Protein backbone atom coordinates (compact mmCIF):
# COMPACT_ATOMS: atom_id res chain seq x y z
CA UNK A 1 0.00 0.00 0.00
CA UNK A 2 1.38 3.37 -1.00
CA UNK A 3 0.74 6.45 1.13
CA UNK A 4 1.29 9.66 -0.80
CA UNK A 5 1.99 13.02 0.82
CA UNK A 6 2.12 16.22 -1.21
CA UNK A 7 4.79 18.59 0.06
CA UNK A 8 4.39 22.30 -0.73
CA UNK A 9 6.16 25.52 0.15
CA UNK A 10 4.34 28.23 2.11
CA UNK A 11 6.81 31.10 1.86
CA UNK A 12 10.08 31.90 3.59
CA UNK A 13 11.07 28.67 5.44
CA UNK A 14 7.59 27.15 5.62
CA UNK A 15 7.09 23.62 4.28
CA UNK A 16 3.70 21.92 4.44
CA UNK A 17 2.49 18.36 3.90
CA UNK A 18 -0.96 17.42 2.66
CA UNK A 19 -2.39 13.98 3.36
CA UNK A 20 -5.96 12.65 3.65
CA UNK A 21 -7.36 16.17 3.33
CA UNK A 22 -5.26 17.54 6.19
CA UNK A 23 -2.41 20.02 6.03
CA UNK A 24 0.50 19.82 8.43
CA UNK A 25 2.34 23.14 8.65
CA UNK A 26 6.00 23.49 9.53
CA UNK A 27 8.37 26.43 9.83
CA UNK A 28 11.82 27.12 11.19
CA UNK A 29 12.65 29.10 14.33
CA UNK A 30 13.69 32.72 13.98
CA UNK A 31 17.30 31.69 14.68
CA UNK A 32 17.22 29.56 11.49
CA UNK A 33 15.69 32.28 9.33
CA UNK A 34 12.08 31.17 9.71
CA UNK A 35 9.07 33.00 11.05
CA UNK A 36 8.52 30.58 13.97
CA UNK A 37 4.84 30.08 13.06
CA UNK A 38 4.91 26.29 13.55
CA UNK A 39 7.16 23.50 14.74
CA UNK A 40 10.04 22.51 12.47
CA UNK A 41 9.72 19.21 10.58
CA UNK A 42 12.17 17.56 12.98
CA UNK A 43 10.28 18.82 16.02
CA UNK A 44 7.07 17.41 14.50
CA UNK A 45 8.83 14.08 13.97
CA UNK A 46 9.99 13.99 17.59
CA UNK A 47 6.52 14.97 18.82
CA UNK A 48 5.06 12.08 16.83
CA UNK A 49 6.91 9.63 19.09
CA UNK A 50 5.17 10.93 22.21
CA UNK A 51 1.85 11.37 20.45
CA UNK A 52 1.92 7.80 19.16
CA UNK A 53 2.77 6.57 22.65
CA UNK A 54 -0.17 8.64 23.91
CA UNK A 55 -2.51 6.98 21.44
CA UNK A 56 -1.54 3.51 22.69
CA UNK A 57 -1.89 4.59 26.34
CA UNK A 58 -5.29 6.11 25.55
CA UNK A 59 -6.51 2.99 23.75
CA UNK A 60 -5.26 0.79 26.62
CA UNK A 61 -7.15 2.85 29.18
CA UNK A 62 -10.30 3.18 27.10
CA UNK A 63 -10.48 -0.60 26.57
CA UNK A 64 -10.43 -1.04 30.37
CA UNK A 65 -12.66 1.93 31.23
CA UNK A 66 -9.78 3.65 33.05
CA UNK A 67 -10.00 7.44 33.16
CA UNK A 68 -7.17 9.29 31.43
CA UNK A 69 -8.04 12.61 33.09
CA UNK A 70 -5.00 12.49 35.39
CA UNK A 71 -2.57 10.70 33.09
CA UNK A 72 0.15 12.81 31.52
CA UNK A 73 2.94 11.73 29.20
CA UNK A 74 6.21 13.63 29.31
CA UNK A 75 8.83 13.20 26.62
CA UNK A 76 12.40 14.43 27.00
CA UNK A 77 14.87 14.43 24.11
CA UNK A 78 18.61 14.41 24.76
CA UNK A 79 20.73 15.81 21.95
CA UNK A 80 24.50 15.71 21.67
CA UNK A 81 25.82 19.30 21.79
CA UNK A 82 28.65 18.49 19.38
CA UNK A 83 26.91 16.38 16.73
CA UNK A 84 23.40 17.81 17.34
CA UNK A 85 22.09 14.26 16.92
CA UNK A 86 19.44 12.84 19.20
CA UNK A 87 21.00 10.34 21.58
CA UNK A 88 18.03 9.41 23.73
CA UNK A 89 14.27 9.85 23.89
CA UNK A 90 12.79 9.29 27.34
CA UNK A 91 9.04 8.90 27.74
CA UNK A 92 7.50 8.99 31.19
CA UNK A 93 3.88 7.94 31.63
CA UNK A 94 2.78 9.86 34.71
CA UNK A 95 0.03 7.79 36.29
CA UNK A 96 -2.26 8.98 39.07
CA UNK A 97 -2.03 7.29 42.51
CA UNK A 98 -5.31 5.44 41.91
CA UNK A 99 -4.13 3.82 38.67
CA UNK A 100 -4.56 0.03 39.04
CA UNK A 101 -1.25 -1.53 40.06
CA UNK A 102 -2.03 -4.68 38.05
CA UNK A 103 -1.91 -2.65 34.80
CA UNK A 104 1.35 -0.71 35.28
CA UNK A 105 3.63 -3.20 33.50
CA UNK A 106 1.01 -3.79 30.82
CA UNK A 107 0.64 -0.11 29.98
CA UNK A 108 4.40 0.18 29.46
CA UNK A 109 4.38 -2.88 27.20
CA UNK A 110 1.45 -1.44 25.26
CA UNK A 111 3.18 1.95 24.90
CA UNK A 112 6.21 0.18 23.42
CA UNK A 113 3.94 -1.02 20.59
CA UNK A 114 3.87 2.51 19.16
CA UNK A 115 4.29 2.34 15.39
CA UNK A 116 6.64 5.36 15.36
CA UNK A 117 8.94 3.57 17.83
CA UNK A 118 8.78 0.44 15.66
CA UNK A 119 9.66 2.59 12.63
CA UNK A 120 12.78 3.81 14.42
CA UNK A 121 13.66 0.28 15.54
CA UNK A 122 13.61 -0.91 11.92
CA UNK A 123 13.87 2.11 9.61
CA UNK A 124 12.90 1.82 5.96
CA UNK A 125 15.11 2.55 3.01
CA UNK A 126 14.62 6.16 1.91
CA UNK A 127 15.12 6.94 -1.79
CA UNK A 128 15.33 10.50 -3.09
CA UNK A 129 15.12 11.29 -6.79
CA UNK A 130 13.95 13.95 -9.23
CA UNK A 131 11.23 13.65 -11.82
CA UNK A 132 11.46 16.06 -14.75
pTM for the predicted model, two decimal places: 0.90
Q: Which of 76, 26, 80 is nearest to 53 (CA)?
A: 76
Q: What does DSSP assign to residue 39?
A: -
Inter-residue contact 68 to 50 (CB < 8 Å): no
Please write the tens of the pLDDT for every residue from 32-80. Answer: 999 999 999 999 999 999 999 999 999 999 999 999 999 999 999 999 9
As beta bridge partners, residue 125 has none
Q: Is the confidence at residue 95, as pLDDT, over 90? A: yes
CATH of 40-121, one of 3.10.350.10, 3.30.300.20, 3.10.580.10, 3.40.1190.20: 3.30.300.20
Q: Is the confidence at residue 100, as pLDDT, over 90? A: yes
Amino acid sequence: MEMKYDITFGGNKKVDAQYRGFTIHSDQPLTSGGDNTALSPFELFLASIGMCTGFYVLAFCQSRSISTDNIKITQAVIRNDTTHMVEKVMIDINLPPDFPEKYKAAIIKTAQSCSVKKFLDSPPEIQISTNN
